[in-house]
Amino acid sequence: MFKLESSNTESVQAPNEFDYPKEKKLNPGAETIRKTLDPSNNASLQPIMSNSLGNYEPKDLPKRTGPGEGGEPVVLSPSEEKDAQRTIREYGFNMVVSDKISMDRRIKDTRPDECKNWIYPNPQYLPTASVILVFYDEGWGVLLRTVHSVINTSPTELLKEVVLIDDGSTDASLQEKLEAYIKRWNGLVKLYRTGKRVGLIEARTIGAQKSMGDVIIVLDAHCECVANWLPPLLTRIALNRKALAVPIVDGLEWNTLEHKNIYGSTNYRGIWEWGFLYKETQIPDQEAKKRKYPSEPYWSPTHAGGLFAIDRQWFFELGAYDPGIKVWGAEQYELSFKVWQCGGVVEWVPCSHVAHAYRGPRSHPSYVPGASPYQTSINHLRVAHVWMDEYAEYYYRREPAIRNLKFGDISERKKIREKLQCKSFKWFMETIAYDVLEKYPPPSNNVAWGECKNVQHSVCLNDLGASFGQPIGVARCYGQNHIIELNEQINNAKSLLQRRETLIQTLEQQIINLKQVKIDSGDTTKLEYENRALQDRLSSFELERTEMKREIEWMQQELEQQKPLSIPTNNESMEQEQQYELAINKSQQRIEELEQAVRESLQITTEREYAMAQQKRKVENLEKQIKTLQNEIEHLRNENNEQSQIMSQLQLELNERKRQYEQRLEEQIKHLDDAFISQQEKILAELSEKDSRIADLEMDRTSSGASNRVNTIEKLNTEKQQLHNQLKELTEIRMKIIQDHMASKQEYDDKEKLVSFSPVDVNGNVS
């Protein structure tokens, strides 16, 4: 059972500009609690994985039975379907099913099994929560079941209040009846009325202003909570007051209110594409590896926007929601971007699950007076220009029609960013949201964009509400048709291929030139021949020098042997000695000449070997350049092959679009033709009927009423002439439409030739 507090119901007129509180209103004892929120003061803030049941886990709950219990679907009888369809049109939910389900039903536990073993900080260490529910003409049972579920699944000590914000509801059941109903909670549930439609975002800010808890938790007014959903969220904020904690969102089917686990056991996180369409992707490995247990929280760039928890004071330090962002759309991006860029974190909490009912086909108008028909785009532009820096250009490329849209004054929002010294969006993209660029690369510049119009019939290409991958058709041009974009990536594909082919040809010519340089500069045959000749000469010189030395030695020996012991007196002996000495001198002179020739030959050989080494290095460098160019050519050819495949696929898509266009046009022409034939048959029938009446009148020759009969016949003849004229005009219109149809097909064929291209094969040959 829960300890309940005093009641509070109040009507509040929504202001044009919010006076954001500078200090948060602390409940009694909150000063003590706020001190414990610093992790350095208390190690018990860290949750602990145990082998037993967690400290907040429900125990010994009685088994419940009845329609929809355990999140099971409720199926109606055929007799109830008519009333059910009426409620679906009015509320977007099957309220006949809702009325059969208990306000206190328990849905299934979709959390990972290990979530039941976490020990979270005791209540005195956790902040209190104000749960804010904004509603506008919400179905009675769906709204009140949300309130019941929040209270039934939240610890009494942690749930400060449930704040209901009525955004101008006109449903009678949501007036005095609602005020009387919430009195049962003795003030735990508070009701405030804006007095007029202000839109979801502004109403949430009013709820944050009125709340008294340490943490504000925003939920949509058509949710049901899974057991123990609240402590895991509050623990993340107790550990880091700048954390924005997001529960895992389950699904409630709008027709049967069946509870489903949307994600299963897979962890996803929120991202977006450049038109600000919200997307989700599995968490990257580097994020998953940060956790010891798969049930631990993990970082996410953004979230869906409808369900989250944030420290109330931190929310207002960030400037709350931008007052210029109105009605609905872009608020989750603004909050996520500034939380990350200004020093906080966005965390998804796998052990906190809340089921959200997604509306069915509702016919009830949800228009907010004074809102622009382009309000969502205005909201996106304000976010882009305040927080996204140079990345805002990607939104313009993705949505070119909004480039000149006025989005109001954002100077105050920029001052908040400057005051908080927030980081750049580039830091955010590279550090936190890196998988956005992986999944959705930045769009190329648009060369042309606009409606694709058939001027003869004033019809434009339109998606006709088709889902992704389904064929589009044509509809009357009214300024909001499907925008066709021709960006640089498509427009320049052919010229890119041609430029690459030209580059390949240039590189190939460079290779030919380099090979010729290699031949001209690197031919060492002549040098090697000359070196071999020098080596031969050196060998010959050495051999001759050796022989000369031997000859000198022999002559010296002969001379010594023939010298007399005394000075010779014989003239013949003196002459012979002189001849020996002369021969020795000549041999020594020849040896000196040979040695000089050897030295010169060695010098020439050294120079030539140096020249050969230089030539070899030059050849090696040329071969490296050739190899590099060959690799570059191979890379370009591979890219061309890939680009050619892309272009071929684009051509197939263009052909398929043409076929679909012609098929749609044929169907519309056939429909118009059938209408013309039907009208023609109707005119012919009227002519036949008038001919019969004239014949009857002419056969009536009685004198009575002769004057009236003549007048009637004249009138009928006049009407016949008018019908003949209509028939003629109708036939001409039919022929004109057929001619226009043929001209339109020819015009389409002519325009197609302007964007056609020729595929390029892997060898660079244009086919």
**Residue 617 located in a structural domain:** yes
More confident position, 512 or 720: 720
Compute the average pLDDT of residues 433-460: 83
Residue at which a domain ends, from 491, 521, 555:
491
* pLDDT the model gives residue 432: 97
**Residue 1 located in a structural domain:** no
Q: Is residue 584 classed as helix, strand or coil in its secondary structure?
A: helix
What pLDDT digit, counting tens, does each position of 238-283 carry? 999 999 999 999 999 999 999 999 998 899 999 999 999 999 999 9
pTM: 0.62
CA distance 205 to 18: 8
Q: Are residues 215 and 95 in the same domain?
A: yes
**Residue 456 located in a structural domain:** yes
Q: Is the pLDDT of residue 296 over 50?
A: yes
Could you give the residue ranges of the DSSP H alpha helices within 357-424? Answer: 375-387, 392-398, 411-419
Q: Looking at this protein, which amino acid is placed at residue 175? A: Q
Please give the backbone phi and psi of residue 582, each rounded to the nearest 5 degrees, phi first.
Answer: -65, -40
- Model confidence band, residue 488 (pLDDT cutoffs 50, 70, 90): low
What pLDDT digit, counting tens, does each position of 65-86 carry? 999 999 999 999 999 999 999 9
**Residue 762 located in a structural domain:** no
Exposure of 384 by Cβ count < 10 A (0-12 exposed, 13-18 middle, 19+ buried)? buried
- Residue 109 belongs to what H/E stretch? none
Highest mean pLDDT among 193-202, 471-480, 659-668, 708-717: 193-202
What pLDDT digit, counting tens, does each position of 670-717 carry? 776 777 777 777 888 888 888 888 877 777 666 556 677 778 888 888
Q: Is the pLDDT of residue 20 over 90?
A: no
Using the CB atoms, write b or e for 367-381: b if 16+ within 10 Å.
ebeebeeebbbbbbb
**Residue 505 located in a structural domain:** no
CA distance 109 to 351: 10
Highest mean pLDDT among 99-108, 323-332, 705-714, 723-732: 99-108
> For the chain, percent helix, then strand, then coil, each to nearest 5?
55, 15, 35
Share of the chain above pLDDT 90, in %: 47
Q: Are residues 473 and 594 in the same domain?
A: no
Q: Are residues 327 and 353 in the same domain?
A: yes
Give the chain's mean pLDDT: 81
Q: Are residues 233 and 247 in the same domain?
A: yes
CA distance 57 to 119: 9
- Model confidence band, residue 172 (pLDDT cutoffs 50, 70, 90): very high
Residue at which a domain ends, from 412, 438, 464:
438
**Residue 764 located in a structural domain:** no
Q: Are residues 399 and 315 in the same domain?
A: yes
Which domain CATH number covers 83?
3.90.550.10
Q: Are residues 484 and 523 in the same domain?
A: no
457 lies in which domain range? 444-491
Q: Which of 319, 313, 325, 312 is nearest to 338 (CA)?
A: 319
Share of the chain above pLDDT 70, in %: 73
Q: Looking at this protein, which amino acid is placed at residue 453? A: K
Overall number of domains in the chain: 3
Q: Is 62 left (phi over 0), alpha (psi -120 to 50) or beta?
A: beta
What pLDDT digit, counting tens, does each position of 387-402 carry? 999 999 999 988 888 8
Q: Which tokens sit at 188?
A: 């735990």
Q: Are residues 323 and 341 in the same domain?
A: yes
CA distance 478 to 403: 19
Q: Are residues 38 and 84 in the same domain?
A: yes
CA distance 263 to 261: 6
Q: Is the pLDDT of residue 236 over 90?
A: yes
Q: Are residues 461 and 533 in the same domain?
A: no
Q: Is residue 302 classed as helix, strand or coil in its secondary structure?
A: strand
Q: Which of 235, 216, 225, 253 is nearest to 145 (CA)?
A: 225
**Residue 693 located in a structural domain:** yes
Compute the average pLDDT of residues 558-578: 56
Please give the backbone phi and psi of residue 461, each rounded to the nearest 5 degrees, phi first.
Answer: -60, 135
**Residue 251 located in a structural domain:** yes
Q: Which of 122, 102, 99 is nearest to 45 (CA)?
A: 122
* pLDDT the model gives residue 580: 65
Q: Are residues 532 and 622 in the same domain?
A: yes
Q: Which tokens sit at 127?
A: 């902040």
Token pair 């290699």 is found at: 518
Q: Are residues 358 and 461 in the same domain?
A: no
Q: Which of 2, 107, 113 is nearest to 57 (CA)?
A: 113
Q: Are residues 167 and 310 in the same domain?
A: yes
Secondary structure string (H, E, C) spanning 473-542:
EEEECCCCCCEEEEEHHHHCHHHHHHHHHHHHHHHHHHHHHHHHHHHHHHCCHHHHHHHHHHHHHHHHHH
